[in-house]
Amino acid sequence: MIQVKHLNHHFELGKKEKKTRLTVLENINLCVEKGEIVTIVGKSGSGKSTLLNLISGFIRPVEGEIWIDGKEVSHFTEAEFADFRLKHMGFVFQNFQLIPSMTAYQNIELPLILKGLTEKDRKQITDEMLETVGLTDFRSHYPSELSGGQQQRVSIARALVLKPALILADEPTGSLDSETEAELLTFIKQLNKDYGITFLIITHDEEVASIGHRTITISDGQLLEGGASL
């Protein structure tokens, strides 16, 4: 599902005359198989979020290749990557990133609107997603009227609504209490089992890391263990 080959990335800091180079990732090689849950752990500043953003296409690598579902995506234009994300990838974030002026139903429906589905098809799929995440009775609630766990379920439903093969999650339980976290992790494992969705999860939480089929440790921009050789 994901192949990262000889990936290097750095940021240029400072003004033009006094630029300094900050190396963030160095010679990253990583393989994630279809249907795996892979967790990436590391301290703040280790490079894990940068790696996720590179795989997501939100930033471009300085060197190396990124392949997703058999396509070399690291040289896509912004428009090509935006279209690819819509068709193949879902995203779950720590702060949920729900649109506060939209109901749970409308937040989940949004990707279907962007894809151009008819209202009838959107309703059927969105209703199914609400049932899948156990929020049918909360369809008309706004994010501010939902608990943290319910908001994250809306976020996951929105990520699932186009049936992506891959979901990328950045600290998905970071805003949740321990009980809600446990429920969400059980839910992620069930989604993986039932639908074969590949999950790549960034975390610093040992409980979250424990649900992975493999756990990859990253430190100072380098993989220390768990990465599959290419």
Note the pLDDT tens digit of each residue in 58-99.
Answer: 998 899 999 999 999 988 999 999 989 888 998 888 788 899
Encode 27-54: b = buried (16+ Cβ within 10 Å), e = exposed. Answer: ebebbbeeebbbbbbbeeebbbbbbbbb
Instruction: Find the DSSP H helices in the chain.
Output: 48-56, 78-88, 104-115, 119-132, 148-160, 178-195, 206-209
Instruction: Note the pLDDT of residue 5.
Output: 94
Place domain 35-60+77-225 in its CATH homologous superfamily: P-loop containing nucleotide triphosphate hydrolases (3.40.50.300)
Instruction: Note the pLDDT of residue 92.
Output: 85
Instruction: Note the pLDDT of residue 228.
Output: 44
Could you tell me what percent of the chain has a pLDDT over 90? 55
Please write the tens of the pLDDT for every residue from 145-189. Answer: 999 889 988 998 898 888 888 999 998 888 778 888 888 888 889
